[in-house]
Amino acid sequence: MAKKDVTADMSVEQKLKNLYQLQTMLSEIDRIKILRGELPLEVQDLEDEIEGLSHRAGKYAEEVENLNSMVQTRFGKIKEAEAAIERYKSQLDSVRNNREYDMLSKEIEFQSLEVELQNKKIGEARKSIEERNAEIEKLKTQLEERRADLDIKKSELDEIVTETKAEEEKLREKAKGVEQTIDPRLLAAFKRIRKSSRNGLGIVYVERDACGGCFNKIPPQRQLDIRMRKKIIVCEYCGRIMIDPELAGVKVNKPAEEKPKRRTRRLAKKEEETAGE
Ligand SMILES: [Zn+2]
């Protein structure tokens, strides 16, 4: 109950000031969380790249294996052909006629061509093996580099997570303290607006005659009401709570047509009197 009394007696001006202070802290927490969210993405990118590279190296290694077994098969074929050639050559000694001799000679020639063909294929396969092995070596170097990058990124991430978590904790504590000084209904409304807005802003100031949250133009009378700091005013488009930039403690470039401060204040006072709410 004692807490409620604190906020009940508070002027609108003070309420807005406290709320804006809370917004600043929460925005900082949001910023920290975004920062922490982006770094793991960089780590994830590197991990994906490493996976891609090692997958490619694995594929090349598989191809080398297949080519090697193909070479072995071809060597087997050469052996068979050479054995056949030996056999036919020994048969040449006991041919009975020219027809048999021609047939054996043709077989020998055919098997010799087979040996030649297999040797050619083996040569080609060996060249492919060499190329793939060179690719594998290149990929290995790249993998080593990326893995070193990943180690650095990971330790950076750990450091930042630890640092920002501590910072966030401190901010949360401070924010909790400020929340105690804000009227519960206003705080609930603020939290609701903040939740539904993409940039996490529940309270914004007028900038270039527009709402700092949704950038819709604020009518002059409404801007005046905001500057009066007598009641809580929300943007009629986005529902965000509006605050006078001066009260928020921010310096904005005043539009050219606006007159010096003193006159504005006097004008505002006059408006207040005539408005008479
Ligand atoms: Zn707005």
Per-residue pLDDT at 252 exceeds 90: no
| Other Cβ atoms closer than 10 A to 257 | 6
**Torsion of the alpha carbons at 262, 267, 270 and 276, rounded to the nearest 10:** -120
How close is the Cα of 180 to the center of ligand 1, in Å?
26
Of 234, 252, 255, 254, the residue nearest 243 (C-alpha): 234
How close is the Cα of 38 to the center of ligand 1, in Å?
28
How close is the Cα of 217 to the center of ligand 1, in Å?
8
Convert the pLDDT of each residue in 58-98 to its tens digit: 999 999 999 999 999 999 999 999 999 999 999 998 989 99
Q: What is the pLDDT of residue 251?
A: 79
How close is the Cα of 241 to the center of ligand 1, in Å?
8
Convert the pLDDT of each residue in 116-136 to its tens digit: 999 999 999 999 999 999 999
Residue 277's pLDDT band (cuts 50, 70, 90): very low
Convert the pLDDT of each residue in 225-242 to its tens digit: 999 999 999 999 999 999
> Mean pLDDT, to the nearest integer, of 49-54?
97
Q: Give the Cα separation of 64 and 259 in Å (integer).
A: 81
| Other Cβ atoms closer than 10 A to 57 | 19
For residue 237, what are the CA distances in angstroms to 72, 76, 93, 132, 193?
78, 83, 108, 63, 12
How close is the Cα of 205 to the center of ligand 1, in Å?
10
For residue 177, what are the CA distances in angstroms to 19, 85, 115, 180, 253?
12, 98, 89, 5, 32
> Domains plus CATH for the chain?
37-165 (1.10.287), 183-243 (no CATH)
Q: Which residues pair with 241 in a beta bridge?
A: 203, 234
Q: What is the pLDDT of residue 6?
A: 67
How close is the Cα of 238 to the center of ligand 1, in Å?
4
Q: Give the Cα separation of 241 and 224 in Å (integer).
A: 15
Convert the pLDDT of each residue in 164-218 to its tens digit: 999 999 999 999 999 999 989 999 999 999 999 889 999 999 999 999 999 999 9
> Mean pLDDT, to the nearest integer, of 37-49?
90
Q: Which residues contact 224 (CB under 8 A, 6 or more apart)?
A: 268, 271
Residue 220's pLDDT band (cuts 50, 70, 90): very high
